[in-house]
Structures are given as structure tokens and as C-alpha cells.
Structure 1
Amino acid sequence: MDISDIAKLAGVSPSTVSKVINHKDSSISDATRERVLKIVREYHYSPYSRSRATKDWLIGVVFRSPISLDSTLDGILNVAQRAGYAPLVLNSNLDLEQERKNLEALKSTGAAGVIWEPVNGESLSYRGILDASGAKVVTIGANGGDLSLLIPYEKATYEITAELIGRDHCRIGCLVTEGRRTPDFIQGFKRCLFEHGMAFTESLIHTEVSADLLGKIGSGELTGIVCSHYQMAKKLHERLATLHYHTPDDVSIVSLRNDSGTSWIDDPGDAISTYTIKNSDFGRLACERLIGKMTGKPAAGDHFDGLKLNNTNSLGNPPTSRSKHAVVVGSINIDTRLSVPTLPDEGKTVTTDRSLVYPGGKGTNQAAGLAKLGHRVALVGDVGADASSDVVYRTLEHWEVDTTGVYRKADVETGKAYIFVDPEGQSMITVLSGANAFLSADDLAAREQLFEGAQYCLVQTEIPLDAVLAALRTARHHGAKTILKPAACDVLPDEILQRVDILVPNLPELNTIVPGPGTIEERAAQLAERCGGTVIVTLGAGGCYLHSPELRRHFPAADFDAVDTTGASDAFISALAARLMSGDNLVRAIELANYAAGYSTTRQGVAQALIDRFGLECANA
């Protein structure tokens, strides 16, 4: 390649080329000069007539680590090559000595310009190496000094926070991973809150998907979350799903996401709303800025515009309530159902050849009932450290019940219940308490976060009474309404009754708790006076009787042919709570609860016989 070849490619005379490359081009137009220089750079032409310490066509790029070698480099290469420059790319591997060698190497090559990402704050002491070479320099990254070009994490965070504020969120949390972008991310979050008249406190910042963060989401204390890294957003999304929270119905999530490198994770369903930061755009801007310095012609549009909201799938308005969140505290068993010709009696042996084994217990049954009716529900209870506990966990997860409050107790077995059912569907039950007998008030305190934001708490007395009292106290402390089933209980202390909003005994339980003469109505009135709330006495085929501060009324049973009455009271209570949580008044909730109880008797077993949301909605139509 010589001057004649350059002249042909540029469409000018060789003398014009000579004048341009020897800087005697004052009479030549800017357009012609730039056309000649572009070809000179593209073909790395160096005239024989002079020794040049600087290669005008060579650009050095020094990255601090391999993490930086992503699409940032693509952006640099595209701009440099289109402008006729050849980039020489070096990597310092986070090592200061290697960084010094890289800068010395660029000095010796005579590179006309350098894009430099310093390893750390000490790196700037090497700036003299580049200054001595005469090269123009653009620093990038957080360690490059006041004029360093940065990916605008602060701006991006401001925008994703504004996305939530624009959807009426005013309780927004910030989930960050420690790293180089963290200070800018938090600053953008704080600035957006401030400029929208919202208070910032350190309690809004979270560095992990913790019980504290999940509790704030569950209680509605936080309705929106901005995330600095997509990995954290994905982890939060998955953890919420295991607790049966849904985005954006229960909480909105929006995250930053880089278009390459370790933060890029496949998300084919676009479950999380993200702002993708295009590193290639950052590389483009850095190279355009350097070429502007080298040519004395600053690049037009010197700004970063690589921010784009990919989807709105996890963005919505704040939930208006937490009405679908409930906690159930009670027994967890493995039930053995025996179909017998007649119920056992004193001195009489009954044989059978039909049995069915499945998870049960009033806690399990009521939690499954609420979940099948479309509500989020957490179960609090204990199982043993045995194979039966694995069956319990799998079954609860199948019904989408939150099991974070179900603990294994060492050296005890999971509770067991033996259920005898006659051809008329009537039943008798014998219970081996197992781990249920060890649930304590301290256990309830350790699992208190599950009560945060709950609207209803359902408790049964097949667990120790100190645990019952602790559950009721905790529920009241967090503003939840309480429903108590007094099963297998000879006495109910007033300190328990006074913390119950709705008490649901059957007739034998009413007779035990309020012994002596008197009608159902009279004894229900005595019990209601003691608890100061509402009493609903379930009467099997006779329906139920309500005594509330406002109303006394009998409700007929739903018309079903019973096959197995086991668990009908659990079906009643779970449906009652579900309908109250959905906004029904007490009368309508009882009518539908009676329907749910009757429906459950038409099938064998309990949880599998409970009505689902579709079935109950049809009855409500």
C-alpha cells in the first residue's frame, strides 16, 4: 500500500494524500481530509518519509477483569472499525502489576488513544504512563476518577423505582447484592423516593431474600421491590412462589439486567419485569468519546440510551388488601381409615378388609380446605422425624400449603389417627398425638413471622392448650380474626375463650364445655357470653345454630347423601373462613360452609373430599 493506492481509494490525487498525511492540508476541505485519513487508518498506512511515534489508527483497550469482556467490547469494536481504527485489547485480570505492564505495552505501540478500565483506586497512579505517550485517554468504570464514564446504574435505578411509583406504589423496598453498582443503585433509589415526596429509611434496603423481607411483603408493609441484580430478583420470585404469593397480584418486582455476562439468566417466560442495560451501548459511547478526543470533534449525542423495560409481567398496582392470607395452627396426622360394618363397641370385635391411609389432622385438613378454595395459607404444626413426615410434606405441597411453619421433632413420630367409618358414613376416631403433643408456646414465638399480614387464624385444640393460647395471642397481636375448633378438649379456660372471635363446637363438644341441663340455644348463649364473640354449633345432618351478638338462627344442612362424615367440621370451618375472607357476610358464609360440609361427606377421606373454589363458586351463583 502506497500513496498512489490511497489516492485511488479516496478518489483524490497522490499530492493531496501527501499533503494530508504530512499535515500540510490547510487548503484541503474537511470532508476530503477525513476521507483520506479514514482510508489511511483502515489500511494502517505509515509513510516511509517519517518515523512516527504514534500510530493514528491504533486504539488500546484495557479491561480490569474478564467480567468486563462482554458486549462492552462488541460496542467498542463496532464503532472503532467503522471509523477505521484497530483496537488492541488487553486484560489486567484484577492485578495491578499486570495493569502496569499493559499500559507500558500500549505506550510502546504508539496507540493514539486508550479506553482504560482501572483495576482499583491505586491504578490512577499509572496515568503518567499514558500521558507520556501522548495518547488520548477515556477511563471507564467506578475506579476511573471524576471524569470516568460509568454505566448509569443510578439513572437506571431511578427509572425502575419510578415505574413502581407510577403504578401508585408508596411502600417500596430495595433488594441489592453487594458489588460495584451497589452505591449507585441505592443512590438512584433514594433520589427517586425523595423527588416523589416519599421517605427513605435504611430498613427499606435488603441484601438477601430473608424472612424479614418476606414478612414485610406478606403483611403489605412492602408492595413493590426494586432489585439490583436479576439473580436476586429470580430468587425472590421463586421463594415467593413457594409461599403462594403471586406477582403482581401480591407484590410487584422490577429488576436491572445486563445483556451479557454473569447476570444474564434465561427467563423464557419473562416472569420478571426488567430494565436491560445494554453493555454494547456503553462500549459504543466510550469509543465515540475517545474518537472525539482524538479528532477534536466530540461525538454527537454523547449519552447512554441503553435502557429498556422488557415487559410488565411482574408490575401492577398495589394489592388493596391481604384478605387471602390465613394461618392454620393445629394437628398433623397420618390417618388410617377403616371401613367397618358397625362402629366398635365395648366387648365387641369388628373386622374389616378395607383401609385407606392418607395425611390428615384438623390442621392439615383446614389448611388444605383453604388452599383448595383459592386462599394463601400457612400451616403451623409439628411432625416426627420419620418417613410419615415426608408424606405429609409432599401432600401439603401438592395442595399448595405453605409448609415453612411445619417442623420436624426429633425422637418422636408423626401423629396418627385411626378412623372407623360405618356404612351410614358415621365415624369414630382414636388419635395418637405423637409430635402434635410437643407443639409449645415457644414454637409459636419462633414462627411468628407467618402471622404477619394474616387476616384469619384457624386453631384447633388437638394440640397443647399453651400452644393454642400462644397462637390466639399472636394472631390477635397481628390483627387477625380467630376461629377455634374445640376438638378433644374437656375444658376451655376463659383466657383462651376471650381471644376467640368465632367458636365452632359440635354438639358433643358443646355438652362437654358447657355441662348440665339446658337447650342448645341456652348453652350456646352461655358459651358466647364467656368468649364475648360468636358461637356456631355444628349439628351434622341437623345443620348448625348461630349465636352472635347480632343474630340467633338455625341453618339447615345441605342435601347430600353421606358416605363418610369424617372431616365435615373441617370442611365447614375452612369454607366459613374462606368466604369471610372473600367478603361475604356471616349469614352467607355459613350457608356456603354448610354446603361445603355436606359436599365433603359424599366422598371417602378428608382433604381429597374437600370442595374447591370452582365448586363453591357454583353453589354461590
Structure 2
Amino acid sequence: MNIKDIARIAGVSTSTVSKIVNGKDSSISKETRRKVLKIVKEYHYKPYAAASQRTRSYTIGVLLRSPISFDSTLDGIIQAAQNAGYATAAYNSYSDPERELKNIAAVCGRNVDGVIWEPATADSLDYASYFPEGTPLLTIGPNGGDQSLLLPYKEAAYKLTNELIEHGHRHIACLMTQGRRTHDFLEGFRTCLFDHQLPYSDDLVYYDLDESLSSKIGSRTITGFVSSHYRRALEFTQMIRPLHYRLPEDASLVSIKNDTAEALAYPGNAEISTYTIRNADFGAYLCNKLIAEIEHDDESHPSFVQDFRLDNTSTLSSPPTTAVKHILVVGSINIDHYLSVSRLPHTGGTVSTQSATRYPGGKGVNQAIGAAKLGHRVTLIGNVGVDNGSDFIFKAMEQHGVNTAGVKRCNGEDTGSSFIFLDPSGESIIAILSGANAQLTPDDIKANEQLFDNAGYCLIQTEIPLKTATAAALTAHQHHVKTIIKPSSCDYLPQDLVANADILVPNEHELAVIETEGNTLEEKADHLIKRGVGCVIVTKGEHGCILFGPDGRKTYPATDFPPVDSTGAGDAFISALASYLMYGYTLQQAVKIATYAASYSIERKGVIPSLIDRLSLDTYAHQVE
């Protein structure tokens, strides 16, 4: 930067600049003096600097264009320079051409021996003439021209994409973040698809994470993702987590990450399968190459080469061949209030309690969490109020991994409540305050119709309005989803609901209420089957259950567990029944396993704590195969 450049930028004559910098400016206005001095400082101009004799300063200039807080390239440069006895003067233009020109002037004013330069734009190379003649110059990055030295982002993207292809993926998308690696990474991704005769379109590149990505995972339109930045990959895992997609079961994800101390995962997420870019080694390579040029070292220096290997394969697997079926639950959502009493209340009597606890409850919640604990993806449709109880419910659903996309907050309503009087023998009496459950309508079922897609079973309970339960059963069959219906808190079952029940699970009392034809259990069950039910399973508490079907009846005894609370036995039975039918067990096997799950549930207080997990139930299930 010479006096002519300063005069041109300031819009004054060279003589004016000379007078100001030499303190002979008494005839010059204050405004002009301030303007010229500001430019002189910004561009680090020194009088007669161009004519002075250059001497070795043992300082290397580094001009970068993008944020470096998570990039160890500069660390590598500094460490290599110090090892060779050099200091560094680093500046960042943040891709601003005007700031870049000022940084160049600052570096030249430091009389550096050589410069590592990452040009801010494609036009920045025009600034090369501002460097003193003969200054060793290394350009890096996408704007550095034909001689630019580049981190191997293109190669990394190519090989990451190839990792997915080698695992069988043919529908691959790219998660991108704008930055220094964008061009090369995208080129590597595109080239790999082309080399394997896989189609490429701009629609496969995502600069923003939105709901369209999750829908493409669910439909298997995309099965693999390659990410240009580790943080974008982490954001992606956080986006799909509430939707209950799992890596690598539902999609594979691979990424590159820097050689810094970035967190490997958010809490609760698996590590991501990554290539680590050795930025610090690349920085050291650049510095050593520049010093060799400064010191006229003619010894041959090898090019920078990185051998890419995956740090782990936690999020990489073969693509799912078919969409994974889930369980859909349509039913009541309550807060269960447990009141432990010495004896159950009776007509005209009064009981008191000194023990009261609350749990998430309602048959919809109980069955949803029960199926989730048995390893299934579960979605719940139901209503809650606008109160503290609704927050309690949502936290419980998140804790157990239940998808609440179908759960709606109802203005002006409280979340449903149940009051459970529990005696020492485990017997109970329950009173229910419907609250928001009573506001669940057929329109809510229609609004959530997409949740029926790819469901294996739909579990329906009649603690919601019967017309809504019927709409759910009809919608399930329209989507080829089998139904399991629990008749609870109702005096009858509409014919449309009966005709769309693949499995009906009443207890003895409920069967007597909903079916008036016949005197015995068998006669009532047979009549329900004639009305269209696929089969009837009558639960009998400590006596097990009876399966009535077109092929006759079969009795399943209960397993002997000490009774503490029998409230959730029916929900434990239904969630286990659906779960093991989904796992491919026969109806007879699934009923036997479900009977064990129901028996297991009575030895703990509270429905949710008493629901059995898959590991425990699988141990028993293997005995009935």
C-alpha cells in the first residue's frame, strides 16, 4: 500500500497525504485531516515503506476469510511456525472484501516473510499486486485459483457417500451448511452419485432442516444422509428424535467433523459415524511448505494426504427394507390419583386415607407406555387440558418415547382425572372425571388420519366418546390396520364399532354389560362374533383369561404373583398382546405372554411403574415359542 493508493481511497492529492503524515498540515482542514489519518491507520500505511530495504522479520502472515473458532487449521500453522522460530500475524476478513484489503495492508506493514492467504471472494486475487514483489504466497480455499491448496473435503464427501452406497443405500441426501467447505463437499457428493449411476438433483441437498426430511424418512424416500458439518448432523439427530425415528434403524447418518473437542453427541443420542478432518495437520503442512519457500529449501516436501476411516459405525447400517410398523393408541389421558384405604368405600360409608400419590394414567396412556416399554414405536391420539396436568403427561410421554403428535391441548378444559381407591388386597374402585377426554371427536380422528399410515395395530378404549372410538376403528380398517378394542365405562357398543373390532378384550363385568344376548360367557362371546368381532378375549383377574374364536375356546391361567394393585392389569394385557402379535407370535402364544404380563403388573402400585419391560417379558416369551 503506497501513498498513491491512500490518496486514491481518500479522494485527495498525494501531496495532501504527504503533508498530513509528515505533520505539515496547518493549511489543511480538520475534516480532511481526520479522513486521511483514519484511512492511513486502517490500511497501516507507513511513509516511504515501499522504498525501504526489506529485511527478514521471521513473521508469517495468515489471512483467513471465515470463522475459525471451531477449526484447528490456525493452531497447526502457529505450532509449526513456533517450532521453526517464526511468529504469526493472523487476520480474518469474514468474507468482506473491504476488510480483506485492510488486512492485506496490515500484513504488508508488518514486513512479513511470507503469507498464507484464503481469498474472501473469487475477485480477491486482484489484490495480489498489493503484496511486495517477491513475497512468498500460498493461497488456500475455493477462491485461491488454480494453485490453491485445499483441505480434502471433496475426497471426504465422496468416501462418506460411498460408505452409504456400500451398505446398500440408493436414496441419499446431503445436509449442508454454507462455508469454506461447501463447494468441494457438494462436488464430492455429486461425483460419487454419478460414478455409481445414482440420480442427483438439487432437491437432495438440504441447507435447512424442516419437516419434509422426517416425512421422507418415514416413507423411505431417503434412507441415508451425509453431512458436511458435524454440528448440522447433531441438529438433525435432535430434529428426528421427538418424532421417534432411530439411527440407524430408520436411516443412516455419516458426517465429517473437525479435530477439536466437539461433543460427540447430545445426551441420549448415539455417537455419529464420522471422518475426522485433520485441520491441525493441514495447517502445519501449509506452514512448513511456506517456510521452505521463504528459506529457499529445495528439498522435496510431500503433498498433504489424509487416510479416511470411520471413527465408529453407530449410525451406519443397511437401509430398512420396509417401513417399520408402529402401534397407534386412541384413548383416554388422565392423571391417576391413588388413595390407599383400609377398605373400599360402600354405600353410605366413609373412608379416610393418609396416603395419596399421582401417576400419568388413562387407558390410552397406559397402553401406549406399555407398548413402548416392550420395544415398539407408539403414537397416541387423545386430548389433554390447558393445565399443569397436561405438562405432567407430556413429560411422561417423552420419558417413555411415545409420539404425542396426535395429542391436543383443549382450551377451557382440564386434563382428565381418575380417583382410585386401593385396598390392601390390591382390589380397587375407580371414579373418572372425563375432562378433555370428552372433547375428543371424530373430526380429531380425521385430522390425525396420517398417523394411521403404516400402523400395525390400533388400540382403542371407550373411555372416550363412542362415536369417536367408532370413527377410529373405521379409519383403522380403511388403512388396513388391525384393531384391539377395550370396552370400558360404557353401557353398550355400537354395531359399527363391534363390526370393526378384530379383537375385543372385555372383563367379565364389561361383557355382561355390553352384550345382553345369552347367559354364559361363551354364549355372549359367540353372539359378539356373529355381530362381526374377530375374536373375544375375556379377562378374569386371578383366574386368567378365556379366548373365544371361530375355532372354539381356550383357557389361559394366570401366573401367581402377590397382589398389590390390579388396576392396570387389563392395560398390561392389551399392550403385551399387541406387541407380541407385532413381533410375529401366533394369537395363542401372544395371549399366553399377555396373561403373564398382566399377572406381573399386579405386584406394584401404580399402573405405569407396574408395566413390564421387553427384556423381562422376552425371557418368559422364549418359553412359549
Q: TM-score, normalised by structure 1?
A: 0.78
Which SS does the other structure have where 2:253 is aligned? Answer: strand
In structure 2, the partner of 1:384 is 385
The 1:70–1:185 alpha-carbon spacing in structure 2 relative to 1, beyond 3 Å, is closer
The 1:55–1:478 alpha-carbon spacing in structure 2 relative to 1, beyond 3 Å, is farther
Structure-2 separation of matches of 1:478 and 1:325: 13
Structure-1 separation of matches of 2:226 and 2:433: 48
Structure-2 separation of matches of 1:51 and 1:421: 97
Q: Does structure 1 conserve the Cα–Cα contact (< 8 Å) formed by 2:66 and 2:179? A: no
The 1:342–1:316 alpha-carbon spacing in structure 2 relative to 1, beyond 3 Å, is same
The 5 Å alignment of 1:169-188 reads 169-188=169-188
For the pair 1:310 / 2:308, whether they are aligned, the reply is no
Q: Does structure 2 conserve the Cα–Cα contact (< 8 Å) formed by 1:540 and 1:557? A: no
Structure-1 separation of matches of 2:501 and 2:180: 52
Structure-1 separation of matches of 2:185 and 2:457: 38
Q: Does structure 1 conserve the Cα–Cα contact (< 8 Å) formed by 2:289 and 2:301? A: no
Query: 1:526-579 deviations in whole A, cap 9, x for unaligned?
Result: 434544634333344453343446x33222231436454322211110110121
Query: 1:163-199 deviations in whole A, cap 9, x for unaligned?
Result: 2222333444433334443444344333323333434
The 5 Å alignment of 1:64-75 reads 64-67=65-68, 70-75=71-76
Amino acid of the structure 2 residue aligned with 1:129: Y
Structure-2 separation of matches of 1:619 and 1:454: 26
In structure 1, the partner of 2:362 is 361
In structure 1, the partner of 2:485 is 484
Amino acid of the structure 2 residue aligned with 1:572: F
Q: Kindly state the Cα deviation for residue 444 of structure 1 after the two structures are TM-superposed.
A: 4.5
- Structure 1 gaps of 5+ residues are 1-49
Q: Kindly state the Cα deviation for residue 118 of structure 1 after the two structures are TM-superposed.
A: 1.6
In structure 2, the partner of 1:348 is 348
In structure 2, the partner of 1:615 is 616
For the pair 1:259 / 2:259, whether they are aligned, the reply is yes
The 1:423–1:302 alpha-carbon spacing in structure 2 relative to 1, beyond 3 Å, is closer
Amino acid of the structure 2 residue aligned with 1:464: P
The 1:184–1:392 alpha-carbon spacing in structure 2 relative to 1, beyond 3 Å, is same
Q: Does structure 2 conserve the Cα–Cα contact (< 8 Å) formed by 1:55 and 1:109? A: no
Q: Does structure 1 conserve the Cα–Cα contact (< 8 Å) formed by 2:517 and 2:523? A: no
The 1:362–1:160 alpha-carbon spacing in structure 2 relative to 1, beyond 3 Å, is same
For the pair 1:558 / 2:566, whether they are aligned, the reply is no
Which SS does the other structure have where 1:336 is aligned? Answer: strand
In structure 2, the partner of 1:592 is 593
Query: 1:67-116 deviations in whole A, cap 9, x for unaligned?
Result: 27953234344556777876554433543233223334555677664322
The 5 Å alignment of 1:88-237 reads 88-106=89-107, 113-130=114-131, 133-200=133-200, 204-217=204-217, 221-237=221-237
For the pair 1:501 / 2:502, whether they are aligned, the reply is yes
Q: Kindly state the Cα deviation for residue 439 of structure 1 after the two structures are TM-superposed.
A: 2.5
Query: 1:342-363 deviations in whole A, cap 9, x for unaligned?
Result: 6556x53342436543221101
Which SS does the other structure have where 1:597 is aligned? Answer: helix
In structure 2, the partner of 1:430 is 431
Amino acid of the structure 1 residue aligned with 2:431: T
Q: Does structure 2 conserve the Cα–Cα contact (< 8 Å) formed by 1:252 and 1:315? A: yes
Amino acid of the structure 2 residue aligned with 1:161: T
Structure-2 separation of matches of 1:428 and 1:486: 17
Q: Does structure 2 conserve the Cα–Cα contact (< 8 Å) formed by 1:63 and 1:69? A: no
Structure-1 separation of matches of 2:124 and 2:475: 56
Amino acid of the structure 1 residue aligned with 2:224: G
Q: Does structure 2 conserve the Cα–Cα contact (< 8 Å) formed by 1:534 and 1:548? A: yes
For the pair 1:461 / 2:459, whether they are aligned, the reply is no
Structure-2 separation of matches of 1:88 and 1:496: 78
Q: Does structure 2 conserve the Cα–Cα contact (< 8 Å) formed by 1:285 and 1:304? A: no
Structure-2 separation of matches of 1:422 and 1:101: 82
For the pair 1:569 / 2:570, whether they are aligned, the reply is yes
Amino acid of the structure 2 residue aligned with 1:224: G
The 1:571–1:195 alpha-carbon spacing in structure 2 relative to 1, beyond 3 Å, is same
Query: 1:568-614 deviations in whole A, cap 9, x for unaligned?
Result: 21111011012112221111000111122223234443222223334
Q: Kindly state the Cα deviation for residue 519 of structure 1 after the two structures are TM-superposed.
A: 4.7
The 1:591–1:200 alpha-carbon spacing in structure 2 relative to 1, beyond 3 Å, is farther
Q: Does structure 1 conserve the Cα–Cα contact (< 8 Å) formed by 2:70 and 2:258? A: no
Q: Does structure 2 conserve the Cα–Cα contact (< 8 Å) formed by 1:369 and 1:574? A: yes
The 1:434–1:201 alpha-carbon spacing in structure 2 relative to 1, beyond 3 Å, is farther
Structure-2 separation of matches of 1:324 and 1:288: 57
Query: 1:310-362 deviations in whole A, cap 9, x for unaligned?
Result: 223333344566667423221111223445676556x5334243654322110
Query: 1:250-292 deviations in whole A, cap 9, x for unaligned?
Result: 54332211224xx934659982222111222333454466568
In structure 2, the partner of 1:515 is 516
Which SS does the other structure have where 2:68 is aligned? Answer: helix
Deviates more, 1:535-544 or 1:473-482: 473-482
For the pair 1:275 / 2:289, whether they are aligned, the reply is no
The 1:274–1:349 alpha-carbon spacing in structure 2 relative to 1, beyond 3 Å, is same
Which SS does the other structure have where 1:314 is aligned? Answer: coil
Q: Does structure 2 conserve the Cα–Cα contact (< 8 Å) formed by 1:110 and 1:133? A: no
Query: 1:222-247 deviations in whole A, cap 9, x for unaligned?
Result: 44332222222223334555566554
Q: Does structure 2 conserve the Cα–Cα contact (< 8 Å) formed by 1:173 and 1:222? A: yes
Q: Does structure 1 conserve the Cα–Cα contact (< 8 Å) formed by 2:71 and 2:258? A: no
Structure-2 separation of matches of 1:515 and 1:178: 69
Structure-2 separation of matches of 1:69 and 1:553: 68
The 1:80–1:609 alpha-carbon spacing in structure 2 relative to 1, beyond 3 Å, is closer
Which SS does the other structure have where 1:392 is aligned? Answer: helix
Structure-2 separation of matches of 1:176 and 1:479: 38
The 1:546–1:298 alpha-carbon spacing in structure 2 relative to 1, beyond 3 Å, is farther
Q: Does structure 2 conserve the Cα–Cα contact (< 8 Å) formed by 1:409 and 1:435? A: yes
Indicate the RMSD between aligned Cα atoms, in angstroms. 3.9
Structure-1 separation of matches of 2:266 and 2:384: 38
Amino acid of the structure 2 residue aligned with 1:264: E
Q: Does structure 1 conserve the Cα–Cα contact (< 8 Å) formed by 2:344 and 2:351? A: no
Identity %: 48
Q: Does structure 2 conserve the Cα–Cα contact (< 8 Å) formed by 1:334 and 1:417? A: yes
Amino acid of the structure 1 residue aligned with 2:585: D
Structure-1 separation of matches of 2:466 and 2:400: 28
Q: TM-score, normalised by structure 2?
A: 0.77
Query: 1:115-148 deviations in whole A, cap 9, x for unaligned?
Result: 2212223423323334x72445432223334553
Structure-2 separation of matches of 1:583 and 1:302: 57
In structure 1, the partner of 2:583 is 582
Q: Does structure 2 conserve the Cα–Cα contact (< 8 Å) formed by 1:190 and 1:200? A: yes
In structure 2, the partner of 1:333 is 334
Q: Kindly state the Cα deviation for residue 64 of structure 1 after the two structures are TM-superposed.
A: 2.1
Q: Does structure 2 conserve the Cα–Cα contact (< 8 Å) formed by 1:440 and 1:467? A: yes
Structure-2 separation of matches of 1:186 and 1:498: 55
Amino acid of the structure 2 residue aligned with 1:97: E
The 1:443–1:287 alpha-carbon spacing in structure 2 relative to 1, beyond 3 Å, is farther
Amino acid of the structure 1 residue aligned with 2:228: S
Which SS does the other structure have where 1:99 is aligned? Answer: helix
Q: Does structure 2 conserve the Cα–Cα contact (< 8 Å) formed by 1:281 and 1:304? A: no
Structure-2 separation of matches of 1:97 and 1:467: 66
Structure-2 separation of matches of 1:265 and 1:452: 36
